[in-house]
Structures are given as C-alpha cells and as structure tokens.
Amino acid sequence: MPDWAIWFIVGAALLAGELAVTAAILGPVGLAAIGAGVAAAAGASGELQIVVFTVLTLLSLVVARPIAKRHLFPPPAEQRTNAPALVGEEALVLLQVDRDSGQVKVGGDVWSARSTSPGEVFEPGDRVVVDAVHRTILNVSSAEDRPTG
C-alpha cells in the first residue's frame, strides 16, 4: 500500500475520532496526517513526510485547537451575550411560575419561565433568579435562596 494511502487512512480515522470525541485534539492531528499524505503523493521522502506531519501537527494544535475550544465551551459570565447573559439575573414573576408554565420579566423583556424545582411555585410579584436558558424558556429558582454580596 502506498505511503499516501496510509496517511489518508490515518487522517480520516483521526478526523472520525474527533467527531465522536470532540476533544479538539484528534482533528488537528488528522489534518496533519492528511497533509503528510499530500506530501507523500507528491513524491516526498519518508523523512520529509514525517517532518511535514510534525510541523503541521504543531501548527494545527497552536492555531486550530484554541479556536475549536472557544466554540466547544461557553464563555465566562462576563462575556456572555443574548439569552445566556440572563443566567444569574434576578427576574420579576408576572404570571404564576410552576413546573409547567409561567412568565417573568428580566431587564424589561418578558420571558416564558419554568420552576427549577418541581414542587416550587412562584406567585406574581415574587423575585426569582434565572438558573438556565433553554431556547426561549428560563428556568428559575427563588431569589431568597441565593447568597448576597
């Protein structure tokens, strides 16, 4: 089997592994293996193929991995925007909030809300804290349970 075919198979296997694991480590190495396969197909010697693989691995880990990690993990609270920025914010209950329905007002906007705790019910006028955002529904819990300061 030619060298380029081995490099391409290894690269494809690593890229497939990255899709399954999403650790942002197998993908960059898989891309480097495909680059070494291109070098092998162009007639590069075995030593040059190893050098190409090593250089491309280091480059892809230095450049691509930080970009991939930014997309895999949520930003810190101070950098969140849109709906994720509501997590931790205090809200005013407008319509009774229970496990199945309700409405709250956060920062001037009205949102559908659900209680985080199944048995907990909040009445209009109560203050709650946003625990999570799922699409257009806020999961809330009692603001009194939160430490202040």
More confident residue, 25 or 57: 57
Same domain? 68 vs 84: no
Give the pLDDT band (50/70/90) at residue 149: very low
pLDDT at position 6 is: 95
Q: Do 84 and 106 fall within a single domain?
A: yes
pLDDT reported for residue 43: 94
Domain boundary among 72, 90, 115: 72
Confidence (pLDDT) at 147: 56
Residues 64 and 97 in one domain: no
> Residues 60, 87: one domain?
no
**Residue 111: which CATH number?**
2.40.50.140
Q: What is the pLDDT of residue 77?
A: 57
Q: Do 61 and 100 sit in the same domain of this protein?
A: no
Out of 72, 103, 130, pick the residue that ends a domain.
72
The 10s digit of each residue's pLDDT in 58-117 is 998 888 777 777 777 666 656 555 667 788 889 999 999 999 999 999 988 899 999 988
* C-alpha to C-alpha distance for 66 and 117, rounded to whole angstroms: 37
Verify that 56 and 95 share a domain, yes or no: no
Q: Is the entire prediction scored with pTM above 0.75?
A: no
Lookup: tokens for 79: 């950098």
Number of domains in the chain: 2
Contact 132, 87 (CB under 8 A): yes
Tell which of 72, 92, 107 closes a domain: 72
Q: Residue 56: how many CB atoms within 10 A of its CB?
A: 20
Number of residues that make up the chain: 149
pLDDT at 111: 92
Residues 16 and 45 in one domain: yes
* CB proximity list for 112: less than 8 A, separation 6 or greater: 101, 102, 103, 136, 137, 138
Same-domain check for residues 11 and 63: yes
> Based on the domain organization, do 117 and 137 belong to the same domain?
yes
For 12, residues 6+ apart whose C-beta sits below 8 A from its C-beta are: 30, 34
Dihedral sign of CA atoms 78, 80, 85, 88 in order: negative
Instruction: Write down the pLDDT at residue 139.
Output: 92
Regarding whether 11 and 65 lie in a shared domain, the answer is: yes
Are residues 52 and 106 located together in one domain of the fold? no
DSSP SS3 for 123: coil
104-115 pLDDT tens trace: 999 888 999 999
Domain that holds residue 22: 3-72
Over residues 114-136, mean pLDDT: 90
- Cα separation, 64 vs 95, in Å, equals 47
Same domain, 67 and 89: no
